[in-house]
Structure 1
């Protein structure tokens, strides 16, 4: 199909009927712009299925070992100017007003080999907490679920019987944040009582007493990635006192404290490149060396509180050695190696990208391991941004705001894609399905909604809560979702 001669080109604004008269000169390239083969003479009615077959032939021709080449069995999505090709190529060209005077670059990107079905119904509404549910989190393998509440307790839930399993008591005030280690050996919690606690997920017993040191309430927690150290031992806690403490979970000791922020820290992420990222109400983001706590660089640009951070590799860091079925190697060395393989696949050989969302209605996209200059400044929200979150494949990220909207952005370029409208109250939190196709949002309007990222429309409306929904999480295995809020109820959602 390769053509040495350029077909008669058609103006960008030519209607599809005219476009259909001429072939298109196109080239399939990966996300880095590397061509899979020569320029091709394509009919304008070619679709994603034909492009898939064509790409596999090109990859097969260039493969040194076609029998064992995973690329030949991977499903791909195709994009022209950031728009996914879902129908005929000509329709995408006309819709986006793309010029065909030059060679048309069709970007291919691997998709997950499994598909997550949208949650459509509430399978259980479980009472137990005496106050609002402030956080919910599935474990890395999707087999455990925990929730933190304003009643000073954490509850572990049995996902099979959909009933309470353990009540973890020890905090003396609201439990504000919880975090699972990537090997599922520990659950960490932080609260209004300024204490950090560790728990055994199997027995529900406390791993020692409170770990003290912070002067004010603990706002966020993050564990060291499994591909860096396995079993996972270190984690960090961020506080309203402006400091971050790195702890040893086995020795239950603070290894070092990182203090540079002048106001409360709202978010902390432990990246896969040996860096820790913190966002603060002092309008700055700090990048720290995870080994000694020294400042690597300071990221400036926001004009108000920075509320949320999102890492492009977050899903790989969260799930560590576990695949999409919840399985991992039994051997620690093999588990660490598998976690590293999954992390490298998530990065695609590029540095991690970081997105920050702020009270100044804007977001910035950064590459913090290489530069302090932002890659993009993203505007569009009309009120403060509560939460930003990358899709598991890093292709998209989404933002939730007090302006009642959810926005979808290109995870590689930061380019705006679409707005999801439907909530009638502020949107508090987001959760992606493991296959990156669906996005769930939790709102002040007491509902949750599931959006289709590819079709850019509402997939499911999930009423059920009697009041504001503060927290939502989707199992890394994709089978269940959980939500909690002001009505003190934990709800489980299934297909």
Structure 2
């Protein structure tokens, strides 16, 4: 294969008033053609090798891939070579940017993007007061119509986000509420507290559902519901504690089904996977994988040299939203809900194993396929301090990590390859959250600000100051319309576009 030779770059010099010479914008001509092969993120070849103009744009590639795939409607795609996204032209970003030869056969990886687009929030529409201590957790319901907060004042509050007013104050805990979690059908809200109990609330009335669930001997660290497509009744909840145990509760019968107690230190995080496996991370440096039906240990994932602080699943977003997609359409009954949730889960995984990312006090992360192997896909280094939080993009193509080194880092969701560092915060970053179209990321920091990052440019898109102190928690509504944040200043802020 041969091109027409090196590019001829023509430029004209122009005179200015100060007699200085300036080069006009260069006109690139005669760039020739490049042989390219389009492939999926999994490495599957699509169509034959193609001879493309070197200055082909992403828009032109999008038209081409839609034709090759015979799509009935035009779908958006992103294109990259060796991890470098084609943003302007193939020539500028890959031949010049990666110093690739025009004689190479380029493997262009294409990834489908969300059909809908989320606009970045730009302003604080409401500052809601009411909590008398720090807000430790903020969470939208699966359909995005309700918002809950857990606070150091021992209460859970449910807010009406259409009118930006407090809806219910749920009182009953007698110590800090450390974590809250919506059931995937949105009909129950669970809260875990330093008082060693788990409580369930009815979000329609704000009243407690029965007595507190007691059994743990130390405070509750994390909560996880069984996914909707595995159990449309949504009556099984897992709680982890500083006492090193996990308890699986039947929330309807209000009793413990079984207790898991093989960790030798406090459990920091649990996730309930869409394949029926339960994952737990602990201060004993281990991640354990459990069969959620009987509580049997499936495998132990080892590699971290210090406490494991956080975990994220590539399917977190679809497991959280259950049967509700971006259209907001609701199922008629449990069977339809289960069917829709299963369809969404299968689409998110592509019939591949779900991936797990773990972050630790040892400054590193690992990416795993825990249902298949106890060996990690990759060990990820680069952070200079502990990794506090990790989160997968809704499409599973990327994940972000937040660290006490004031940075957010982006990684490839399949291989764990490093993509970029997002710098701008001047304090530790506590939490990150993705927009539902996977194009934007928001981060919350000790420096009292939130920042929205554009994943295309890998730069700050919008800076959101306004909090008076550290921002502990942030959540982006599944519909993409609103962001909620809370922190040490006891204020809940609602941000809109």
Partner of 1:341: 343
Q: How far apart are 1:10 and its partner, in Å?
A: 7.8
Partner of 1:489: 491
Q: Are the counterparts in 1 of residues 144 and 477 from structure 2 also a CA contact under 8 Å? A: yes
1:7 pairs, out of 2, 5, 13, with: 2
Structure 2, unaligned stretches of length 5 or more?
Answer: 10-25
Structure 1, unaligned stretches of length 5 or more?
Answer: 1-5, 61-68
Q: How far apart are 1:20 and its partner, in Å?
A: 5.1
SS in 1 for 2:63: helix
Distance in 1 between the 2:91 and 2:255 partners? 62
SS in 2 for 1:237: strand
Q: Is 1:51 aligned to residue 46 of structure 2?
A: no
Partner of 1:154: 156
Distance in 2 between the 1:99 and 1:313 partners? 38
Partner of 1:199: 201
SS in 2 for 1:37: strand
SS in 1 for 2:479: coil
Q: How far apart are 1:31 and its partner, in Å?
A: 1.3
Per-residue displacement from partner, 1:6-35 (whole Å, max 9, x unpaired)?
A: 234989xx9x99995331000111112222
Partner of 1:475: 477
Going from structure 1 to structure 2, the CA distance change for 1:494 and 1:18 (only over 3 Å counts) comes to closer
Distance in 1 between the 2:314 and 2:4 partners? 38
Q: How far apart are 1:100 and its partner, in Å?
A: 4.3
1:25 pairs, out of 35, 40, 46, with: 35
SS in 2 for 1:39: strand
SS in 2 for 1:36: strand
- Write 1 or 2 for the structure with the bigger share of strand: 2
Q: How far apart are 1:384 and its partner, in Å?
A: 0.4
TM-score by length of 1: 0.94
Partner of 1:90: 91
Q: Is 1:170 aligned to residue 165 of structure 2?
A: no
Partner of 1:303: 305
Partner of 2:80: 79
2:184 pairs, out of 182, 185, 206, with: 182
Q: Are the counterparts in 2 of residues 20 and 45 from structure 1 also a CA contact under 8 Å? A: no
Distance in 2 between the 1:177 and 1:58 partners? 47
2:451 pairs, out of 449, 463, 479, with: 449
Per-residue displacement from partner, 1:90-130 (whole Å, max 9, x unpaired)?
A: 11212122344432111111110100010111111111001
SS in 2 for 1:38: strand
Distance in 2 between the 1:189 and 1:10 partners? 66
Distance in 1 between the 2:410 and 2:27 partners? 31
Q: How far apart are 1:230 and its partner, in Å?
A: 0.5
SS in 2 for 1:318: helix
Going from structure 1 to structure 2, the CA distance change for 1:99 and 1:232 (only over 3 Å counts) comes to farther
SS in 2 for 1:317: helix
Q: Are the counterparts in 2 of residues 9 and 100 from structure 1 also a CA contact under 8 Å? A: no
Q: Are the counterparts in 2 of residues 195 and 210 from structure 1 also a CA contact under 8 Å? A: yes
Q: Are the counterparts in 2 of residues 154 and 175 from structure 1 also a CA contact under 8 Å? A: yes
- 1:345-360 alignment to 2 at 5 Å? 345-360=347-362
Q: How far apart are 1:226 and its partner, in Å?
A: 0.7
| Pairs aligned (count) | 480
SS in 2 for 1:449: strand
Partner of 1:422: 424
Partner of 2:461: 459
Distance in 2 between the 1:336 and 1:176 partners? 30
Per-residue displacement from partner, 1:306-342 (whole Å, max 9, x unpaired)?
A: 0000000100100010011322221221111110110
Larger radius of gyration: 2
Distance in 1 between the 2:300 and 2:102 partners? 43
Q: Are the counterparts in 1 of residues 3 and 102 from structure 2 also a CA contact under 8 Å? A: no
1:36 pairs, out of 23, 46, 66, with: 46
